[in-house]
Structure 1
């Protein structure tokens, strides 16, 4: 048995951020190896466990610290500076602990009764089919892009629950053990290659009712404050936070290289080049603005939750775009810096090209879709209905 006892003293948010920052050199050193292996090594996941990062959002019932999402986000902002794939795995495998605060406690007991360090992966996109049966659900199909699944002993599977006419009426996450699915190694990509985001194949898998929860039915519960945030905020914000880490990593690399680089265009020192300085400043302001917006959203939402109020839908529509814009702004920041490196940036020996590729792929994540979310917000402000099954269940 490996039932860890909750730490006698829960570290502060600042302490956890410092632990994350201390891991950046190791993550940078291993980043090439991670990409080539197409998988984050167990040693890195163990380092994250040792630092306590998987306890941040985990309920106290199972030895966690029940901290708020912004603490987790600040940690991801640091880890992303070191290795995109490793930080992405930490984001995916670490956000699911929060999810158990929304569920029947029996689900958490199923996973952590013997070992509360067990990790859970996911594939939320509703690729396969679900059938409602007595006592639960039956899953069939192939679910793609399950990041970090090599390290998960369970996985959340996303589905549309439909009525008898085939119309979606709810979006569910169903928890299944590793013994109930097979891996399909199809993650051959040009960025975030080390996330190991394989597909999961399920055949007639029964999931009991207590291992299911709605991803869109937002309501207050009796749980700790952290579990009163909307599901979309917790997950969207986590992706955006790790994107900030990627872009800050690009800034770190750029400064290191430009400080010592000699140009061949007549400027004896690259750090004196007006073009390089302009691009750096514009990249920094984009990343700082994205970071500040993420944390401001967390603070605003927390003010409602502290009063045991739901975060209003008026706010949540804005927050979704606030998060989605982060990917685009971080993408812009990294491209600014990459272009300023000229030919030096194209060599595989230069980590900037990997950060660029990781950022481009991360910015294509559904949570970073600024276009459709801008349309949704604009339409809502003009009195038009919100996209169905995104901000709540259909009205009866």
Structure 2
């Protein structure tokens, strides 16, 4: 049964806690099958975790970006692949504020509705009567095996033969071929495979702009710049993974004997120092990320240069969160010793997952150069931020 739309953040956090035994029981299949087991995916859907941004007018909770962050972090602390899928699926429910109510309502009538999105490539779109004919292949379709809809970017040829601005095109699952390409080290349970369509008809009503969005809802999640909203949905995941790793290490430190001593690891001053530094690193990175989102929200109505700077600031905050999360997990691994190498433990998985997550372009270190250009009074040099 779906969590009711009016439920609080605490209700969703409680639902994640209740999922812990199921995730633990099924986790052995994550790496082997390179996707989430149906039982886990269905449980996430039934908990409402793929509808976090769905508008209230469509029966969703319409959480703020800050509440979204709290929920996705908790899911990521439970498991990196689970958090990644919740961030992607819950994040894409914001399309309920971009499409017509009729279309969005029909898509999300399915209790297992899950929209896969990929922006790592641009397909081609040819305008025809009532829509477009679209072809393309897109990488990193997280959750592809369970998707009910897929979104791929496509460029429409202008009258001069040039590519127009990218368009978000939505395909029914029956139109899509999924390629089994997800052979990776971390986040293996996300099933982030390539997907492809060939000459698929996409009605105008199943498309919207990527950059110049015209939302159909007034809420903040739908008024955020599209690329900023996309970056936010996954950049909070590494912080959650690191938080889960820290919790696992603290539990370990309380029971593992300290080498050459009658005490436990937590009695060691170097361990105490590391945990203190890890806590500060995570809290400061999270605070900067929240500050960047608050500034972005404030800049939406102002527009102009302030909005450009806010968008860039958010991307640098995403990169900073990724770096700090990875650093914290590596610090923990260095102190955990052999406990960090066994596949049955949280720490080994956290190491692989966090280093896979931070490779995403949304939190790439190149964002710092982008921020530097703007601070130096230069043009950003790209529209993809």
Same fold (TM over 0.5): yes
* Residue-by-residue CA offset, 1:45-83 (whole Å, 9 max, x unaligned): 232233332332112343212222222211011011111
* Residue-by-residue CA offset, 1:127-185 (whole Å, 9 max, x unaligned): 54333444322222321111111211111112344546665541221100001011111
Q: 2:373 aligns with which of 355, 358, 379?
A: 379
* Residue-by-residue CA offset, 1:297-342 (whole Å, 9 max, x unaligned): 333344456xx55572222211121122211110111001011112
Q: Which residue of 2 aligns with 1:394?
A: none
Distance 1:55 1:143, change over 3 A: closer
1:14 equivalent in alignment to 2:10: yes
Q: 1:288 aligns with which of 280, 283, 289?
A: 283
Partner-residue secondary structure (3-state), 2:379: coil
Mapped to 2, the partners of 1:354 and 1:270 lie a distance apart of: 21
Q: 2:104 aligns with which of 108, 117, 121?
A: 108
Q: CA deviation at 1:201?
A: 2.0
Distance 1:367 1:166, change over 3 A: farther
Give ranges in structure 1 of 5+ residues lacking alignment: 392-396
Q: 2:307 aligns with which of 298, 305, 312?
A: 312
Q: Which residue of 1 aligns with 2:113?
A: 118
Q: CA deviation at 1:10?
A: 0.6
1:331 equivalent in alignment to 2:330: no
Q: CA deviation at 1:379?
A: 0.8
Mapped to 2, the partners of 1:340 and 1:86 lie a distance apart of: 26
Distance 1:26 1:278, change over 3 A: farther
Distance 1:107 1:324, change over 3 A: farther
Q: 2:203 aligns with which of 197, 200, 208?
A: 208
Mapped to 1, the partners of 2:163 and 2:66 lie a distance apart of: 32
* Residue-by-residue CA offset, 1:60-112 (whole Å, 9 max, x unaligned): 34321222222221101101111111221111111111023122335314523
Q: Tell whether the 8 Å contact from 2:98 to 2:214 is kept in structure 1 after alignment.
A: no
Write out aligned runs for 1:186-201 (5 A).
186-201=181-196
Partner-residue secondary structure (3-state), 2:186: coil
1:150 equivalent in alignment to 2:137: no
* Residue-by-residue CA offset, 1:226-273 (whole Å, 9 max, x unaligned): 311222232211212121110101101111111111233557432222
Give ranges in structure 2 of 5+ residues lacking alignment: none
Mapped to 2, the partners of 1:160 and 1:368 lie a distance apart of: 24
TM score, norm. by length of structure 2: 0.90
Q: 1:174 aligns with which of 169, 172, 186?
A: 169
Mapped to 1, the partners of 2:25 and 2:78 lie a distance apart of: 8
Q: CA deviation at 1:390?
A: 2.8
Partner-residue secondary structure (3-state), 2:120: coil
Q: Tell whether the 8 Å contact from 2:100 to 2:216 is kept in structure 1 after alignment.
A: no
Distance 1:280 1:162, change over 3 A: farther
Mapped to 1, the partners of 2:324 and 2:161 lie a distance apart of: 38
Q: Which residue of 1 aligns with 2:335?
A: 340
Distance 1:290 1:27, change over 3 A: farther
Distance 1:264 1:67, change over 3 A: closer
Mapped to 2, the partners of 1:216 and 1:127 lie a distance apart of: 14
Partner-residue secondary structure (3-state), 2:107: helix
Distance 1:278 1:165, change over 3 A: farther
* Residue-by-residue CA offset, 1:1-48 (whole Å, 9 max, x unaligned): x9x8x94x7122333334334434543443333222211122222322
1:297 equivalent in alignment to 2:292: yes
1:390 equivalent in alignment to 2:384: yes
1:70 equivalent in alignment to 2:66: yes
TM score, norm. by length of structure 1: 0.88
1:37 equivalent in alignment to 2:54: no
Mapped to 1, the partners of 2:214 and 2:308 lie a distance apart of: 12
Q: Tell whether the 8 Å contact from 1:145 to 1:197 is kept in structure 2 after alignment.
A: yes
Mapped to 2, the partners of 1:369 and 1:86 lie a distance apart of: 22
